[in-house]
Structure formats: C-alpha cells, structure tokens
C-alpha cells in the first residue's frame, strides 16, 4: 500500500467526521501493508477532548494487536498531529507518521514545535508531511468556510440534515419556516410548516410523534389548507428538518414541552386545535394544561396505551416496539410495518431526516425509558386524566382511534372539519 493510498483511506475517515459535525480529520494505522485501524475525529460527539482521530486509531490498533507498543506501524493522518497526539505516537513506539495538511496553529511535527525531533526523548519516529496536502487542506478550509458564512449558525453539539436529503420527499410542497431564538432550545433551530391564511378562525397545530416528522400530516395539511384553515406542523428538535442534538440526554419530556410551548407563544397562536398523533398525546395534554386559554380543542389520534394521562414516558410506548432504533436505525422499514399501504418512496421520506447514526440521537433516546424519566415536579402532576381535563378546562377533547391515522385515514381532515368547524 502506497502512502497516497493510505492517506485516501484517512481522507474517507475525515469525510465521516465532517458529516458528523466534527472537524474533518481522519487517521489510519497500517502494518505490513494491512490496515489495523481507522478512526475519525470525534471529541464533540464523544464529549472527550482526547478523541482525536490519531488517539482513537492508536487505541483501536492496540486492541487489535493486544499490545500498546505499535512497532513497525505507520500512522497516516490528514492533519499534522498536535502535541497530545505526537506524545501518544512516541509512547506507542510508532515507527513512522505521515500527515497531509500542515497545522500552523497547533502542529507538533514542525509547524509550531517538533516533538518528534526532541533529542532528549528515547524514541525516534520518522515523519513525512504534505502527502495529499492539497486535498486534506481543502477539506478543512471548506468545512470552516461553511461555518463562517452560515447566517443560521449550528451549535457544535448538534447536526443539521442537509436540505438535499429532502429533495425526493413527495407531496410536501410547503416552504420551510425556522426559529432559532427559543430560550429553551438555546440556539437549536426548530422547523415548522405554516400553511393557509394567517387570519383564520382556528389555528390547527399538528404534533407528530417519533420517528415521524411533519411529513406525517401532509394529507391533513393539504385538506385543511384547501378549506381555508391555517395549519402549522412543527418538527420536534431532533426530528424532521429541525436541528438534531448529538446527545441523547437532552430529550426529556419537560424540554420538548418547553420548546413547543415557547414556539406557540412566539407565534401568538390562539384558538388552537391541537392534533396530537400517537404518543405525542402527553405533550399535547401538557401544552393545553400550561395555557388552556389558547386552545379550542385537543384531538388525540391513535389508540390509548393505558389511561389517557400526561406521561413522562410519552414517546416510549410506541418507539420501544422496535429495538432497532438503538442498535441500527431503519426508519423506512419500521414505517412500512406500521403502514404497509405506503410506497417505498414515502417510507424513505420518513427516513430522510436521519442520513447517519449521528442524526439519530432522538430516536435512540426515545426508545429508552430511562432517557425519558421525568423530574420530580413533573411526576407530582399525575394522574391527569381525560375526565379531569374536561372538568377543569373549556377545551374540547376528541379521540380518533386507529393506527397511523394521518396515513391510513385520508378522510381524516373531512372528519375533523365536520366535528370542529361551525
């Protein structure tokens, strides 16, 4: 294997890092012409300041050999190693280090300092730079340029699904709307549809549940919009076109409730008909409970799990049916099992927001009961049964039973209009 061939493998890892929102650096370790280990930069995703590509590759190679001494090995990395990585490479007794682009700010192989040339150290590692330097440097420049010119910045601990991923989504013609100044979201961008006239007797708000997104309501939105109604459909943060935090722990009931409540308030919505699908009914009840004066009706779509209560495990009931969301997300197949009438293109549309495992933290979180545990003050609110909602609020509550109703009942819009419009 030539140096250029090995560096191209490292570049593949750097592209994986970029796709995950990390600084695009990749590394591979080769011994006797065979790749022992390959790794991408991952300090953000792993919350680990040592998770540079070189360190991760060293760890993987040491496990492969059963020895921390990596004699007769060559490490290829797309960016000149920093002092931390240079020290680790010397400690591992790596014979040779080959890097691509120089790092004038932190390079420890000659650019800022040269750890490998320190004569007082007891190991000598050969160093060669500038292998595919132009390609390695261009990847880094393009990555940082995109961040500098981005008028809608993305947090370092989040991912944003590229718009190109939604290019083949059918029957979804509405222009995107975004908010990134919601206090609870702390800079994460929330996407929503806002269709129909802004002045309307009712504002219909459609709330999806995992793993779906606002695409779930496309037929209902078209029906209500055609009837002259204002229809809004937000994507939960972590789903659809909204930003996707990399950490599962943020996906708590209270957090999603607060983000959506702030979204409703920011748009000054009143006379709301809140349509909550599946296990988002807990969120729907919480939103109505927090500001009952804003809501005219709460429509619950789907079969109740037990009693209709506000549950901190509001999304667990359905998503836990498929452990694939934790071991290997296959949203399209899961959707196809729930709604066999859908075409392959429609099933793929449900998977569009999740082009990589890094985008799927929300799915993994909402398949875990532990991740959705409530705070003590929220738990004190239960039970909040449907009969209590009717007794204390003026909000009308309707239940439409059935599986995946927005897809399986194309007459849903007509039924809702008949029940709720004058």
- Catalytic annotation, residues: 54
For residue 374 the two structure tokens come to 């409530």
For the residues of 95-160, what is the DSSP string, one character each?
Answer: SEEEEEE--TTT-TBTTS-BGGG-TTSS---EEE--TTHHHHHHHHHHHHHHHHH-SS---TTEE-
Element at 331 (helix H, strand E): helix 331-338
Residue 199's contacts (CB-CB under 8 Å, 6 or more residues apart) are 230
Structural contact between residues 132 and 100, judged by C-beta atoms closer than 8 angstroms: yes
Rg (CA), the chain: 26
3-class DSSP state of 42: coil
Q: Which residue has the tokens 């705070």?
A: 375
Which of 141-179 are b and which e, b meaning 16 or more Cβ less than 10 Å from the residue's Cβ?
A: eebeeeeeeeeeebbebbbbbeeebbeebeebebeeeeb
Structural contact between residues 125 and 90, judged by C-beta atoms closer than 8 angstroms: yes
For residue 17 the two structure tokens come to 């890092």
């Amino acid at each position: 294997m030539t140096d250029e061939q090995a560096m191209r493998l490292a570049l593949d890892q750097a592209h994986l890092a970029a796709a995950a929102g990390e600084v695009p650096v990749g590394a591979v370790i080769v011994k006797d012409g065979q790749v022992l280990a390959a790794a991408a930069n991952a300090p953000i995703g792993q919350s680990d300041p040592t998770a540079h590509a070189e360190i991760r590759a060293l760890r993987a190679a040491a496990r492969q050999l059963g020895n921390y001494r990596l004699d007769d090995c060559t490490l290829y990395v797309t960016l000149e190693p920093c002092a931390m990585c240079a020290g680790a490479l010397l400690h591992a007794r790596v014979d040779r280090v080959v890097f691509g682009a120089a790092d004038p700010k932190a390079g420890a192989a000659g650019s800022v300092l040269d750890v490998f040339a320190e004569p007082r150290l007891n190991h000598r590692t050969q160093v060669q730079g500038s292998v595919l330097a132009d390609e390695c440097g261009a990847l880094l420049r393009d990555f940082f340029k995109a961040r500098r010119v981005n008028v809608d910045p993305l947090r370092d601990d989040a991912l944003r699904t590229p718009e190109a991923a939604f290019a083949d989504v059918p029957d979804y013609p509405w222009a995107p709307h975004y908010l990134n100044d919601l206090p609870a979201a702390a800079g994460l961008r929330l996407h929503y549809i806002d269709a129909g006239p802004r002045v309307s007797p009712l504002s219909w708000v459609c709330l999806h549940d995992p793993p779906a997104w606002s695409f779930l309501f496309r037929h209902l939105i078209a029906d209500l919009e055609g009837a002259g109604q204002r229809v809004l459909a937000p994507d939960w943060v972590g789903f659809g076109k909204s930003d996707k935090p990399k950490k599962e722990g943020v996906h708590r009931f209270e957090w999603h409730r607060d983000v959506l409540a702030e979204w409703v308030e920011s748009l000054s919505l009143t006379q709301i008909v809140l349509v909550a699908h599946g296990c988002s009914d807990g969120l729907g009840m919480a939103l109505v409970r927090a500001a009952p004066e804003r809501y005219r009706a709460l429509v619950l779509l789907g079969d109740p799990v037990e009693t209709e209560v506000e549950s901190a495990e509001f999304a667990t009931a359905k998503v836990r049916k498929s452990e694939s969301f934790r071991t290997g997300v296959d949203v399209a197949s899961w959707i196809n099992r729930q709604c066999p009438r859908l075409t392959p293109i429609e099933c793929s549309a449900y998977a569009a927001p999740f082009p990589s495992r890094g985008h799927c933290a929300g799915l993994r979180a909402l398949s875990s009961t532990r991740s959705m545990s409530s705070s003590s003050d929220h738990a004190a609110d239960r039970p909040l049964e449907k009969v209590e909602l009717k007794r204390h609020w003026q909000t009308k509550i309707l239940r439409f039973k059935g599986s995946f109703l927005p897809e399986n009942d194309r007459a849903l819009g007509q039924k809702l209009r008949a029940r709720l419009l004058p």
